[in-house]
Amino acid sequence: MPRYRIALMPGDGIGPDVMDAAQIVLDQIALDAEYLPADIGWSFWCCEGEALPQRTLDTLQTCDCALFAAVTSKPKEEAEADLAPELRGQGCVYRSPIVRLRQHFDLYVNLRPCKAFPGNPLNLRDDIDLVVFRENTQGLYAGVEFHPLPEEVRAALAAASPGMAAFAGTPSADIALSCRIFTREGCRRIVRSAFEYAQRHGYPTVTLVEKPNVLRETSGLMVREARQIAADYPEIKLWETNVDAMAMWLVKNPQDYGVLVSSNMFGDIISDLAAQLVGGLGFASSGNIGDAFAVFEPTHGSAPKYAGQYNVNPTAMLLAVKLMLDWLGERERAAALEAAIAAVIAEGKVRTYDLGGDNSTLEMAQAVAARI
Ligand code: IPM
Ligand code: MG
């Protein structure tokens, strides 16, 4: 029996293109694994009313981890319009399948390395080496949202918070509410993961990116917990920043930062910013990691207009494979893959269009495979 069971979820848009690239590299690496294809994405929403079918959850349950490429998401009205006619009006609700996977498997760490590979013409600078730890299950992604505002929620809020007085004259039908929910344990585990990583990889700082001067309770809880955890790591400095200032500092002096830790939505935003410093989403990979299961993905979306053309940069997907190998404990293979990616970028002979070249997705993956 192979050592690992790994689910492959290509999804849609350019998802299958980059998953084919991943397969080229996995074959070259000869990982002792069985690969199980699993359905996910827009086509399953359209014909089944479910973008993440139960059979996929069942398959994932039997695997060590999964690779996910990309899926298309659309706002509420468009999602309803794309449903097969017999499914419309049946109460099907579209929720992003990747967000659901994170919550279903309690993948509370979103690990997003943004490292400049020398020779990448898209780098802001060549000495950037950032890793974002984004809380991945709570905050504004908790899914506790209302519109219109139910009367019982309104009454409870009015009784509990003076801030609600400002909305007293607005009809409930005209109020939308999204709750930002943090738990102490949620804060603790993401901050601890960031410190553990910093310690293991020799980063001198962990920067907490929040907004406690305004979001006094949620960001405040995270800051208080972070200070306590930091005390367990005397050799690592905890820097506290506000998310708005951080956006500016990251553009100004990205080389000064190492490990960043943030809540779900701020981490989502700041990790896109960090990705652009090192070439954009074509170079940004992401690990959704829990205690017993993990899903690895490129951070980019499904770019439907490029679907099936095999011209997008596969680097983000290949770096996701590298993160997976690390997580599986296959450190030598992971290091060899990263070195091969770095070599192909440094050499600059095989380049996809974003890098100013005209090579295909698969040619770039083959060049990487040849260097392993
Ligand atoms: C990401 C993406 C997702 C997110 C979307 C596709 C729901 O932006 O992985 O960063 O918001 O988490
Ligand atoms: Mg995002």
Segment 143-191, tens digit of pLDDT? 999 999 999 999 999 999 999 999 999 999 999 999 999 999 999 999 9
Residue type, 125: R
**Alpha carbon nearest to ligand 1 atom 11, residue:** 268
Ligand 2 centre from 299 Cα, in Å? 7
Provide the residues around ligand 2 (an ion) whose CB is within 5 A.
Answer: 268
Residue 102: nearest ligand to its CA? Answer: 1
**Ramachandran category for residue 329: left, alpha or beta (phi over 0 → left; psi -120 to 50 → alpha):** left
- Please provide residue 294's backbone torsions phi and psi, each rounded to the nearest 5 degrees: -150, 150
Contacts 24+ apart (CB under 8 A), 54-60: 56/7, 56/9, 57/104, 59/7, 60/7, 60/101, 60/105, 60/293
- Global pTM reads 0.97
Q: Is the CB of 99 under 6 A from ligand 1?
A: yes
CA–CA separation, 366 and 343 (whole Å): 13
Which one-letter DSSP state was computed for residue 149? Answer: P
Q: Is the CB of 268 under 6 A from ligand 1?
A: yes
pLDDT for the residue 137: 98
Q: In sequence order, which residues have a C-beta less than 8 Å from that of residue 253 and are 6 or more positions away?
A: none
Q: Is the CB of 72 under 6 A from ligand 1?
A: no
> CB of 181 within 8 A of CB of 212?
no
Pocket test for ligand 1, best of 73, 74, 96 (most atoms within 8 A of CB): 96
Is residue 356 within a helix (H) or strand (E), and if so which, with residue range?
Answer: none
Is residue 298 within a helix (H) or strand (E), and if so which, with residue range?
Answer: strand 294-298
pLDDT for the residue 75: 86
Helix ranges (H only) for the chain are 15-29, 42-48, 54-61, 76-82, 97-104, 151-160, 184-201, 218-230, 243-252, 264-277, 315-328, 331-347, 361-371
Ligand 1 centre from 36 Cα, in Å? 24
Q: Is the CB of 96 under 6 A from ligand 1?
A: yes
Q: Is the CB of 95 under 6 A from ligand 1?
A: no
State the distance between the two ends of the chain, measured CA to CA, in whole angstroms. Answer: 25
CA–CA separation, 180 and 172 (whole Å): 20
pLDDT for the residue 76: 85
- Which parts of the chain register pLDDT below 70? none
Q: Please tell me whether residue 372 adopts helix, strand or coil conformation.
A: coil
Ligand 2 centre from 268 Cα, in Å? 5
Structure tokens at 113: 């390395």
Residue (of 348, 167, 169, 198) closest to 261 by Cα position? 198
Pocket test for ligand 1, best of 45, 99, 138, 288 (most atoms within 8 A of CB): 99
CA–CA separation, 56 and 234 (whole Å): 44
Q: Is the CB of 299 under 6 A from ligand 1?
A: yes
CA–CA separation, 79 and 226 (whole Å): 39
Half-sphere exposure of 267 (CA within 13 A, CB side): 34
Q: Is the CB of 330 under 6 A from ligand 1?
A: no
**Alpha carbon nearest to ligand 1 atom 4, residue:** 268
Q: Please tell me whether residue 137 adopts helix, strand or coil conformation.
A: coil
Measured between alpha carbons, how far is residue 10 from residues 76, 105, 262 in Å?
A: 23, 19, 28
Token match 């070249």: residue? 357
pLDDT for the residue 267: 98
Q: Is the CB of 140 under 6 A from ligand 1?
A: no
Ligand 2 centre from 171 Cα, in Å? 33
